[in-house]
Structure 1
Amino acid sequence: MTQVLLKENEGIDSALRRFKRQVSKAGILADIRYHRHFETPIEKRKRKAVAARHKRSFK
């Protein structure tokens, strides 16, 4: 769980920036987007196939 404690004489803006940085490093938003909707097995196979093709094209 991501947590940011306010330091002495720290503004909310800088604390919010630190929080956003921690959330992005932890990959929380990506995980939420990934689990937002149910994915059928066929959709999962298609997504993995596209990712494999994309990965192969950059090698």
Structure 2
Amino acid sequence: MAMVKIKDGESFESAFRKFKKSCEKAGILSEVKKRENFEKPSVRLKKKSIAARKRAVKKSRKGWND
């Protein structure tokens, strides 16, 4: 859980900014978006393999110009 301690005289905007930053660091929003709709395990596995393939292609291209 993201928590922010507010100092005396601190504005709401700055406290809210700190809260948003702590949520982003904790990965709360990405987790919520990921869990918004159910994803079948087969679909999850397929996405994972596609991402791995993309990383491999990108890595092989990176070494091509060197």
TM range (shorter): 0.7 to 0.9
Report the 3-state secondary structure (helix = DSSP H, G, I; strand = E; otherwise coil) of the residue aligned with 2:21: helix
- Alignment correspondent of 1:33: 33
Judging by fraction of residues, say which structure has more helix: 2
Identical amino acids, percent of aligned pairs: 39
- Alignment correspondent of 1:3: 3
- Alignment correspondent of 1:56: 56
The structure 1 segments of at least 4 consecutive aligned residues displaced by more than 3 Å after TM superposition are none
- Taking structure 1 as the reference length, what is the TM-score of the superposition? 0.87
Which one-letter code corresponds to 1:20 in the other structure? K
1:46 positional shift: 1.6
- Alignment correspondent of 1:14: 14
- Taking structure 2 as the reference length, what is the TM-score of the superposition? 0.79
Distance 1:29 1:49 in 2: 24
Alignment gaps of 5+ in structure 2: 60-66
How many correspondences in the alignment?
59
Report the 3-state secondary structure (helix = DSSP H, G, I; strand = E; otherwise coil) of the residue aligned with 2:46: helix
Distance 1:56 1:12 in 2: 45
Larger radius of gyration: 2
